[in-house]
Amino acid sequence: MLEIKDLTIQYGSAAPAVAHFNLSMQPGEILAIVGESGSGKTSVIRAVMGLLPHSGFAARGDILFEGRSILSLNEEELRILCGTQISMIFQDSGMMINPIRRIGPQYVEYIRMHEASTKKQAYGKAVHMLGQMRLPDSDNIMESYPFQLSGGMRQRVGIAMAMTFQPKLLLADEPTSALDVTTQAQIVRQMMELRQRYHTSIILVTHNLGVAAYMADRILVMKNGLIVDEGTREQILRRPQDEYTKGLLAAVPVLEGEMYVS
């Protein structure tokens, strides 16, 4: 479904931020990319979305989604692909939502940007998706301004929006880092339900190996732009190969008194 071949990402003329990155993902698979700040995790998923910042570029390699090179798509092709087939959520999805507009009109606009539907149809779809994320009283949420919702609710609105068109691939960049541990656990469980319900593949970017261990089928560990460890979650948890992974494992946080790692 997604194949990344020997990808090297550079910003301007600086040394590569990511080098020789390889990845092959199956439909419905959850993959976690873990590593400390600056290891290159975000650069990889930005490249998959075709969203590297201006100075960033793929200096080498290719990214194939369903056999098509993402790097060769033009802006219009990328716009169509992103949101419908591939979508992304961030640390605080509230950031993606305009703070001075109510959720409803923004959500309706977002839907109508990607498909031909009446305002009423789009509204119905939005309310349905908010319900799928178990947000209470969806109509009330549509009437709310982002600041009137808690961080966890805003994040669920963000996930609902990202899942509107049932994308094949969801890219999640630190989706739970801004949340308290209880809310974090709820969001993690809901993301896992998405995979079950829609068979969505998820790439989860996190510095938290505990969250990765809980959610992912496969874990990839990055350091200084390189993959230093890779395997099924059991392999990484039970037999980490790299010293760096061993260090990360020793620092796995505790969730509601329970280790994320079972």
- Site residues, ligand ATP (CB under 6 A): 11, 17, 35, 37-43, 53, 55-56, 207
CB of 230 to ligand ATP, least distance (A): 16
Closer residue to ligand ATP in complex, CB, 7/129: 7
Identity of the residue, 11 or 198, whose beta carbon is nearer to ligand ATP in the bound complex: 11
Q: Which is nearer to ligand ATP, 61 or 104 (CB)?
A: 61
Q: How far is the CB of 165 from ligand ATP (least distance, A)?
A: 26
We find the least distance from the C-beta atom of residue 82 to ligand ATP, in angstroms, to be 18
As a whole number of angstroms, the distance between CA 245 and CA 250 comes to: 9
To ligand ATP, the closest distance from the beta carbon of 7 in angstroms equals: 12
- The CA-CA-CA angle for residues 30, 35, 37, to 5°, reads 125
> Which residue, among 164, 131, 161, 163, has the nearest Cα to 146 in the 3D structure?
161
Nearer residue to ligand ATP within complex by CB, 10 or 138: 10
Q: How far is the CB of 205 from ligand ATP (least distance, A)?
A: 6
The residues, any chain, with a CB within 8 Å of residue 228's CB and separated by 6 or more, are 221, 222, 242, 244, 245
Spatial CB neighbours of 117, under 8 Å, sequence gap ≥ 6: 111, 125
CA–centroid distance for 71 within its chain: 19
Nearer to ligand ATP, 133 or 248 (CB): 248
CB-CB contact of 70 with 48 (8 Å): yes
Which helix (H) or strand (E) is 197 found in, with range? helix 181-198
Specify the residue, 27 or 247, whose C-beta has the smaller distance to ligand ATP. 247
Q: Is the CB of 146 or the CB of 225 nearer to ligand ATP?
A: 225
Question: Minimum distance between the CB of residue 83 and ligand ATP, rounded to whole angstroms?
Answer: 22
What is the token pair recorded at 242?
């790299």
Alpha-carbon distance of 33 to 160, in angstroms, equals 23
CB of 174 to ligand ATP, least distance (A): 7
Tokens matching residue 121: 């149809």
- 229-250: buried (b, 16+ CB within 10 Å) or exposed (e) per residue? bbbebeebbeebeeebbeebbe
How far apart, in Å, are the Cα atoms of 256 and each of 23, 59, 183? 33, 44, 11
